[in-house]
Amino acid sequence: MRSALPIAVIITLISCGQEKSAKTENNEQEVVEAAVNLSGAWKNVSTDSSGLEVTAMAIVTDKYVSDTWYNLDEKKFVGTSGGSYQVEGNTISQTFEFNTLDSTQVGKTISSQFEIEGDKITFRPSNSVWTRVDDGSGGDLAGAWLITGRQRDGEISRRTPGARKTMKILSGTRFQWIAYNDSTAGFFGTGGGTYSTVNGKYTENIEFFSRNADRVGASLEFDYELDSGEWHHSGLSSKGDPIYEIWTPREMLD
């Protein structure tokens, strides 16, 4: 049948197919580039109804995002939300896995438009403007991780995360951990701030902590190494207890 078509029609069909393929590749490339452009940490500062200055910090990896609102001087944690996201063109669609400001949003997907110009990103229709803090580079551990192993009594206990998760998400300079249940919308705690990775030492500088504001301002140093793609983390917890944890990249589990 195809050989019976006039050659002009065949050429037209081939050209259309090539054009469609090129458009598909271009669209996929735009999505990748948009995700790359979003990766890193972003900051927004506003004032709440009581006059308190609130810092909003977003950490974005290639698939996951967390947003946290807090005041460092007052050691006040306001709230956090996050989960997975997708970008198509200039539209970002976020599916919430946790949201302390509105737990009814967990499991729902909300879309908004965005524009990036230099180190600024503007979201529509809210017109909120965020400034880039880093582009996701500079730290050995940038990405989204789930805890999959702990040492107890000298033995490593491994588990595959289900609905109950403890995620740690890092940009090039910022970190946050969140314990939650994305099935029940349960939230069990979070903390975060800045971090560094130097000569096998991972150091956290805490700027917010939902469970105990007295921990804000503390710096904790741990040993770390990457083994078969997993992050082995050891040292003393914020309570002073010895810990040995194994964190696995989310993309290896999802």
pLDDT tens for the chain, 254 residues: list them: 333 333 333 233 334 444 444 444 555 544 444 454 899 999 999 999 999 999 999 999 999 999 999 999 999 999 999 999 999 999 999 999 999 999 999 999 999 999 999 999 999 999 999 999 999 998 899 999 999 999 988 899 999 999 999 999 999 999 999 999 999 999 999 999 999 999 999 999 999 999 999 999 999 999 999 999 999 999 998 888 899 999 999 999 98
27 φ, ψ (degrees, to nearest 5): -65, -45
CA distance 195 to 125: 33
**Is 223 within 8 Å of 200 (Cβ atoms)?**
yes
pLDDT of residue 36: 45
Minimal CA–CA distance to 147: which of 57, 237, 62?
237
What pTM did the predictor assign? 0.85
Digit-coded pLDDT (tens) for 169-180: 999 999 999 999
Q: What are the tens digits of pLDDT across the range 52-97?
A: 999 999 999 999 999 999 999 999 999 999 999 999 999 999 999 9
- Give the span between the Cα atoms of 246 and 233, in whole angstroms: 6
Give me the torsion for CA of 93, 96, 97, 102, rounded to 10°: 170
Residue whose entry in the numeric block shows the structure tokens 């306001």: 78
Quote the CA–CA distance of 210 and 206 in Å, as a whole number.
11
Taking the alpha carbons of 124, 127, 173, 80 in that order, is the dihedral positive or negative? Answer: negative
The pLDDT value given to residue 27: 52
Rounded CA-CA distance 109/85 in Å is: 9
Q: Are 206 and 200 in contact (CB under 8 A)?
A: no
**Calpha distance 121→96 (Å, rounded):** 20
Give the total residue count for the chain: 254
